[in-house]
Amino acid sequence: MESFESLGLSESTLKTLKRKGYEEPTSIQAKTIPVILEGKRDIVGQAQTGTGKTAAFGLPIVELLSGKSKAVQALVLTPTRELAIQVAEEINSLKGSKKLSIVPIYGGQSIDQQLRSLRKGIDVVVGTPGRVIDHLERRSLILDSISFLVLDEADEMLNMGFIDEVKKILDRTNPDKRTMLFSATMPKEIMAIARKYMGEYDVFEVQKGQLTVSLTDQIYFEVSPSDKFEALCRIIDIEEEFYGLVFCRTKNDVDTIANRLIERGYDADGLHGDLSQGQREKILSKFKRRMINILVATDVAARGIDVNDLTHVINFALPQDPESYVHRIGRTGRAGKEGTAITFITPSEYRKLQYIKRSAKTDIRKAKIPRVKEVIKAKKQRIKSDLSAIIKSDLQEEYLKMSRGFLEKYPAEEVVSALLQYSFQDELDASSYTEIAEAVVDKTGTTRLFVAQGKKDGLTPRRLISFIKEKCDIRTEKIKLIQILDKFSFVTLPFNEAEVLLSHFKKRKKGSAPLVSEAKMRKKK
């Protein structure tokens, strides 16, 4: 198993990765980072969205740039402004204490603001093709001494009609730069760019596995971050026999959640990458023998766990990508038995959940967190069942004698009531649960969609509105901010209406590009 330490990264970068909770490189990171750090060849990487491509090129760039140059040292081209913002934010989070300036430039943002930033000096520019060309023509962006050029999601730039702009930008860069091209698919036009504009390059391919969902009931709860732990306890308590994995994002989260569960009296333990092999085996042994029924773990630590008959997998933190989600929930529902997968989402994660649902082609239904009185009712029912089972079995003579002694002095219902209170008072105390406020998940925001037709296809705002109304019965007032360009267009819709339109175009001929797709729009505030 690869580690970040084995890739040749510096100690300061490793500390930054640890603070971010990264435990293990993804496949594309493990393959490309050492080659980029060696500084000899260009890179062509084929990998899907969600496989860690940004860190695959961002980490080496952070490592190799000095931060002392007044000229732009690296350019990252992205197909959309939303991705430009995302990539810039990610690289900024990877630089740690290193003095590097990383700025996104894109259409729709104030050109004056971008000009001021460029005059001050930027080390890494993350931009969209149109706005980069705009700055090149203004001479506000000079690329003749850059060290790195990255084409991120090159096939999307091709699909969106930016290939000529990309070539124009490449012609304005110096020949001795290092070039990295990342793309989910490799059509001939993309490989033609690699052959013409890149030097000697290595090709690294990460195949995307088929996402299949097991026999699992999938549920999500909308909950604020501060109420997640309380929600977890209620879910555990309402189940008759809970036996499951709780997934957290970082090692610190694993320790915190596991310790809080233990303090509340649950049979739980935590598993993460800082544990020795001996500790890991001991904890897994306890879990397999059901000496503990709750195992809190990170994705990396849970790999290789072979435990059957799990009743639950709980995503305490939403996984990073659809592949991780499917891998997690695949641990329930084995041997033909149905398991339950529960995912907590915070108000800001609704869109990411929808993306996971579409990519995994699965239904994750919304449910309400059990109320306190429902949990107490379930506990009382289990107590009745357990006591009935004891009564029906062979009662021990020692306890029968004690029972007769009590019944000689007190009425039977008072004796039973006292015993229940003595045994279960704490467990049935409703005040031990704290209130959970209902999280308000904003589904009223908007998202921008890419339409693979433009003026050259005869598309107009009126025709696009009529098309959307006809195909999906979406009201005109819901359709916002239409932008018709030569080869493609954009339209902005509320989240729910966008889901309807995207669902309509899910079924298409194999190998053909979708007419309507997401433009990777971040939620508008």
Phi-psi region of 336 (alpha: psi -120 to 50; beta: other; left: phi over 0): left
**How far is 244 from 266, CA to CA, in rounded Å?**
12
> Is 90 exceeded by the pLDDT of residue 247?
yes
Q: For 108-158, how does the pLDDT look when each residue is reduced to its tens digit (9 = 90+)?
A: 788 898 999 898 889 999 999 999 999 999 999 999 899 999 999 898 888
CA distance 287 to 265: 16
Query: Which domains, from first to last, does the chain contain?
Result: 4-205 (3.40.50.300), 216-369 (3.40.50.300), 373-432 (no CATH), 446-518 (3.30.70.330)
Phi, psi of 517 (to 5 degrees): -150, 170
Whole-number CA gyration radius for the chain:
28
Give the pLDDT confidence score for residue 506 in this predicted structure: 57
What pLDDT band is residue 521 in, cutting at 50, 70 and 90? very low
Of 186-200, 321-335, 453-467, 473-487, least confident by mean pLDDT is 321-335
Q: What is the pTM of this model?
A: 0.55
> pLDDT value at position 82?
78
pLDDT 10s digits, 288-310: 899 999 999 988 777 657 676 78
What pLDDT is recorded for position 1?
56
Sign of CA pseudo-dihedral 457, 459, 463, 469: positive
* Mean pLDDT in residue range 153-171: 88
Q: What is the pLDDT of residue 257?
A: 96
Annotate 48-87 with DSSP letters as a single string.
-TTS-HHHHHHHHHHHH--S--SS--EEEE-SSHHHHHHH
Lowest-pLDDT choice from 36-40, 212-216, 355-359, 521-525: 521-525
The average pLDDT across 376-403 equals 87
Distance CA 261, CA 149 (A): 48
Average pLDDT on 479-495 reads 84
- Which residues in 133-260 belong to E strands, given as ranges? 148-152, 178-183, 201-205, 216-222, 244-247
Cα–Cα distance, 302 to 284 (Å, whole number)? 10
Q: Which residues contact 257 (CB under 8 A, 6 or more apart)?
A: 229, 232, 246, 248, 270, 296, 316
How, if at all, do strands 339-345 and 312-315 pair? parallel
pLDDT at res. 525: 35
> For residue 19, what pLDDT is reported?
78
Distance CA 246, CA 426 (A): 25
Which pLDDT score, from 0 to 100, does residue 296 have?
A: 96
Neighbours of 144 (CB within 10 A): 11
Rounded Cα gap, residues 380 and 476, in angstroms: 53
- Strand-pair category, 42-46 with 74-77: unpaired
Return the structure tokens found at 64.
């190799």
Q: What are 63-119's pLDDT values in tens digits?
A: 999 876 778 999 999 988 878 888 998 899 899 888 899 999 998 788 898 999 898
More confident residue, 241 or 269: 269
Cβ contacts of 499-508, under 8 Å, gap ≥ 24: 499/354, 500/472, 500/474, 501/449, 501/468, 501/471, 501/472, 501/474, 502/358, 502/449, 504/471, 504/472, 506/358
Q: Select, from the ranges 166-175, 314-323, 345-354, the one with the highest average predicted confidence (pLDDT).
A: 166-175
